[in-house]
Amino acid sequence: MPVTNDNGIRIAAEASAWLVRLIRDEPAPATALALHGWLNISPNHKIAFERITQMWESLPQAAQSTRDKLHQ
């Protein structure tokens, strides 16, 4: 199910907050447990978290590509 409504925006924001929390802090077992609980609430949570994680992981590649184009 596409995430396009206000609920989808909220879920995407929550997924982003989870990613920031995992990146910023050393994930404690309680944090991992809470994340898994959140992910299991809805398939949309899993989709949103996967999307934001993929976007985060693609940023270094996008930045390098931009730098390469600027230095041509």
Taking the domains of the chain in order of start, what are their residue ranges? 6-70
Radius of gyration, alpha carbons of the chain: 15
**pLDDT tens digits, residue range 48-70?**
999 999 999 888 876 677 676 66
Nearest to 12 by CA among 56, 46, 60, 58: 46
Q: What is the pLDDT of residue 4?
A: 57
Q: What is the pLDDT of residue 50?
A: 97
Banded pLDDT at 1 (limits 50, 70, 90): very low
Instruction: Return d(Cα 31, Cα 57) in angstroms, integer.
Output: 21
Alpha-carbon torsion, ordered 30, 51, 7, 36, to 10 deg: -20
pTM, entire model? 0.76
